[in-house]
Structures are given as C-alpha cells and as structure tokens.
Amino acid sequence: MQWLANIGRSAIDTVGSFGRAFLMLMGAIIAKPQLIKNTPLTIKQIYVVGVQSLLIIVVSGLFIGMVMALQGYTILVGYGAEGSLGPMVALSLLRELGPVVTALLFAGRAGSALTAEIGLMKATEQLSSLEMMAVDPLRRVVAPRLWAGIISMPMLAIIFSAVGILGGHIVGVDWLGVDAGSYWSIMQSSVDWNKDVVNGIIKTVVFAFVITWIAIFKGYDAIPTSEGISKATTETVVFSSLAVLGLDFILTALMFGIE
Amino acid sequence: MENLLEIDNLTFSRSGRIIYDDISLRIVKGKTTAIMGPSGIGKTTMLRLMGGQLKPDSGDIRFKGESIQSMSRNRLFTVRRQMSMLFQSGALFTDMTVYDNIAFPLREHTKLSEAEIKTLVLLKLQAVGLRGAADLMPAELSGGMARRAALARAIALDPELIMYDEPFAGQDPISMGVLVKLIKALNDALQLTSVVVTHDVTEVLTIADYIYILAEKKVIGSGTPEQIKQSDSPLVQQFLKGHADGPVPFHYPADELELTFLGAK
C-alpha cells in the first residue's frame, strides 16, 4: 500500500506546486504597473538574459545553418534539386529549428542562471529582507525577469534563424557552388510571411513565457540550501526542455497540421 | 509603560511539529527586549511572525494595538515601513554597492532627491563606522562589516522597531564588541525599540532591558537581567551556565542503549 500512498503524495505535491506557480505568476503580472521604477530593472535584465546569450545563439545558429546546408545539399543534389537548398534551410529554421533550438539553448544558458540567482537570493535571505523592507519581491525581482525573458527570447530566435540562413549560404553557395540567385529567390518565393515567419515567432513567445516562468518559479520555490538550489537548477533545464518539445508538437499540429 | 508589540496566546506549528504552544510576550516601547533560547527552537520564526511573514495557527500579534495577521497585504507593507529586521546573514543585495544597499529603502519609499539621499546614507554609514566602505561591494566586506552595513540599511528609514536575528553569531570578539556598542548606542540615540534574538548570554545580559527565555515551545523564564540571573529554574540555569546535560538533554531521543547495541533485550 506504501506505493499507492507515494503516488498520491507526489500527485498532491505536483498539483500544489502548479498552484504556487500560478499564484506567483499572478502576483508578478497582475499588479499596478510601476513603469518608472520597473523599466530600468527590466532593461537591465534584458541585458543579462538576452544580450549576454547572444554569442551562444549566433555561434549555434551559424553551425546549424552550415550543417543543414551540407546535409541538404548531399541529398538534394542526387535529384538535381540543389536549387531548393535555400527554402529548405529557411523553412526548417523559421518553422522549427529557430524556435526550438533557441529555446533549448535559452533554457540552459538563461533559465538555469535565473533559477540559481533567485534561489540564492532566497537562501541568503535577500527576498525576505525585501519583504521586510516593504518591497514586494514578486514585483521587484520576479516581474522584471519574466518580462525580460518574454521580450528577449523571440529576438534571439529571429537572430538565430537569420544567422542560420547566412550559414547555409556560406556552405551551400560559397563552398558547394549552389547558384546564389536561386538560393535567395526560391527562398523568397516559398517562405510565407504569416504561415512561416509569424507562426515561428508565436512559437518562440510561447516558449519564452514557459521557460522563464519555470525558471523563476523553480528559483522562487527552491529549498534554500545548496542541495535544493542545485536540484532546482537541474529541474529548470529538464522541465523547460521537455515542455518546449511537447509544446512544439502541439503548436506545430495546430499551425501546420490541418490544411 | 507602553507596549509596541504584544503577543497573546500564540500557537504556531510547521509541517505538523508544534514550535510554539500558547506563548505571550510584550515588547515595551523604547526598550531592548531579548529573546533567548537554545538553537533550533525557532527564535528566527518568532521574528518572522512579528514581521507578518508567517501567520500563527492561533493567538494574536498586535503592533501598536493593530492585529498583524488580519491586515491586508497593502496595510502590512505600510506597517512594515515602521519596522526593520537585521538578518543573520546581513542579507545585503549582492549586486549593489554598500552605498546603493543603504540608499535602497530610501529610494523605494521616499521621494527624496539624490543629494538628500546621499547625505542620509553617508550619515547612517558614519554611525556604523563604514563611511569609507561606501563604494565596496558586499562580497568585499568581512562578516562583521557586512552586518554593520546591514544595520545601517535597517535604520535608513528610521524605524520604530528593529529586530535583530542572532546579531552576534559567528563574530570575532572585536566585531562582537562593536555590535554590542552599536545596538546600545542606536537604541539610546534614536529611541528605538529593539528585539534581539540570540543565544549569546553574556552579550545579551549587558544590553537587554528585559529577557524572555524560550525552550520546549514555552516561555520558561522572563525578567530583567538581574531577575534572570537569580532564577531558580534549572532549565534557565542550565542555559545561562552552558552545562552540557540537564533538563535539556545531551542525547537526542533514541532507543535504549541495550536495544541498539545488544539487539532485543
């Protein structure tokens, strides 16, 4: 009977933490906006989670684009269709790889940092001391980081896709000799603004929200010991990666599944 | 004598374990009240209850006659501007300089100009002897200095009540002496009401006006330092003199010796 009790307990814990996560989110976003105070804080966080993630995003985007061009070329050239390399690279990046790979990198680079930072603020009593100074940590610490994540990640994903397309150009056109004109013009004619670009951006906004939410909540809810924070950081990366992949399937099915 | 904070019949439990059972305390305005007791009996919890960060299971905590646990969140935040807490770790914001740490409550809660804030911050830092350390980051301070900087931040808004969580724990004798002198001086100069939670007996006996000793979920002794020293309670005496065994046992509750080492009796 012990295992049954354990299942019940973990179910209750899970539901409880969903409830706490929701309450934290409500406390952070449903509040009288304090634009003058919060804008500088949010900008600082955009620098931390966004600008400082730029290097890893650009390098990864470049390599992913290059690899796709290489793989795509070897397959397409067999059918004499290497001219379609441009749309292949662009569509895969805009629809799938841009949003998903950026999200996974963002979870590892920025999400884990957010969890560890907030968890340590909790462990060193900084959150408590904010509360005792009559400053709401949800508005002061949580809200700026949440907005910063939601604002920066879609931009990172766009940069990722753009750099990836350039990477594809370097390998496909400059190295393997695909015609530059067909790389660009067939890409332009087959990429649809609403269907491909906008849908990709919608995906990244959803991913950004989920990752940042998980990261901040895991830090805010962490057990304030070194062990608790390490566990929370791991869970942030694991849970947000899984959430991104699961949500990606659902979103893809909704956007591209049924014509 | 006017009470700034009154606690009546407080009962509090956490994850099924009772921490306090029907405790009543009085914090008299303008005095230093010490709350002492062995480690692990939830002295910090008492401060969090007083600050409204935790809610009691039953009983009443009143600040200036107003019940803390029935306040709305907004009201609680307003009331908290009149109290402040010195955390054991100092809890300085690690991403700001000492100067910005102390300016933080002023920037959050007042409309003072930066020039006025600068004057105030440097005055507070001068009071704790750290004016020269204004531009350092918290990580560059020693433990004693960090606690003094945190003290400067705690008095930035001139609170009426200041709560010290283990202010002497882990300090070398010199820092300890400095902190004792500071707490005393601040109390006299600013007419503050102080609550000091600690287990450092000698220091407390020199600064406290009134002492409560907590153990086993109850107040086991209270009175002025003189009354406490004269107390005939064996528990209080064990605590004051630091005997290893006594009413507070040396051994954590366990099975009988024979059972553990020799198997079944």
Give the contacts of A24 (CB within 8 A, at least 6 positions apart).
Answer: A138, A142, A216, A217, A220, A221
Same domain, B7 and B43: yes
Q: What is the pLDDT of residue A140?
A: 86
For residue B48, the chain A residues in CB contact (below 8 A) are 128
Compute the distance between CA of residue A4 and CA of residue A23 in angstroms, rounded to an integer.
29
Domain count, chain B: 2
Same domain, B246 and B165: yes
Q: Three-state SS for B68? A: coil
Tokens of B142: 């020693």
Same domain, B150 and B180: no
| Residues of chain A falling short of pLDDT 70 | 31-33, 258-259
CATH number, position B229? 3.40.50.300
B71 touches chain A (CB under 8 A): no
Cβ distance A133 to B80 less than 8 Å, yes or no, reads yes
Tokens of A101: 């790979």
> Domain-by-domain residue ranges, chain A?
54-254
Is there a contact between B163 and B85 (Cβ–Cβ < 8 Å)? yes
Same domain, B122 and B11: no
* Domain end call among B116, B141, B158: B158
Q: Has residue B147 been placed in a domain?
A: yes
What does the pLDDT average to over B37-59? 82
In chain A, which residue's Cα lies nearest the Cα of B88? Answer: A125
Cβ distance B91 to A128 less than 8 Å, yes or no, reads yes
**Residue whose tokens read 């409500």:** A26
Q: Has residue B235 been placed in a domain?
A: yes
Q: What is the pLDDT of residue A258?
A: 64
**Beta-bridge partners for B219:** B214
Q: What is the pLDDT of residue A116?
A: 95
pLDDT in tens, B125-143: 988 888 888 899 988 988 8
What does the pLDDT average to over B201-219? 83
Q: What is the pLDDT of residue B248?
A: 67
Q: Supply φ then ψ for residue B129, to 5 degrees.
A: 80, 25
Decide if pLDDT at B191 tops 60: yes
For residue B88, the chain A residues in CB contact (below 8 A) are 125
Identity of residue B84: S
Q: Has residue B88 been placed in a domain?
A: no
In chain B, which residue's Cα lies nearest the Cα of A122? Answer: B91
Name the pLDDT band for B82 (thresholds 50, 70, 90).
confident
Same domain, B170 and B213: yes
In the DSSP assignment, the letter for residue B167 is T
Compute the distance between CA of residue A143 and CA of residue A45 in angstroms, rounded to an integer.
10
Q: Is the Cα torsion angle B236, B237, B240, B242 positive or negative in sign?
A: negative
Q: What is the pLDDT of residue A166?
A: 95
Same domain, B176 and B258: yes
Cα angle B50, B180, B48; round to 5? 15
Note the pTM of the prediction, 2 decimals.
Answer: 0.84
B3 touches chain A (CB under 8 A): no
Q: Supply φ then ψ for residue B52, to 5 degrees.
A: 80, 15
Name the pLDDT band for B264 (thresholds 50, 70, 90).
low
In chain B, which residue's Cα lies nearest the Cα of A125? Answer: B91
Same domain, B60 and B170: yes
Same domain, B73 and B9: yes
Same domain, B113 and B9: no
Decide if pLDDT at B262 tops 90: no
Radius of gyration for chain A, computed over Cα atoms and rounded to the nearest angstrom: 21
pLDDT in tens, B6-33: 888 888 888 778 888 888 888 888 888 8
Largest Cα span, chain B: 78
Q: Has residue B89 been placed in a domain?
A: no
Tokens of A131: 């509360």
In the DSSP assignment, the letter for residue B42 is -
What is the span of the domain harbouring residue B142?
94-158
Name the pLDDT band for B172 (thresholds 50, 70, 90).
confident
Same domain, B186 and B73: yes
Give the contacts of A245 (CB within 8 A, at least 6 positions apart).
Answer: A100
Compute the distance between CA of residue A239 and CA of residue A237 in angstroms, rounded to an integer.
6
CA distance A13 to chain B (A): 14
B108 touches chain A (CB under 8 A): yes
B94 touches chain A (CB under 8 A): yes
Q: Is the ipTM of this complex over 0.95?
A: no
Q: How many CB atoms lie within 10 A of CB A179?
A: 15
* Domain end call among B158, B184, B202: B158
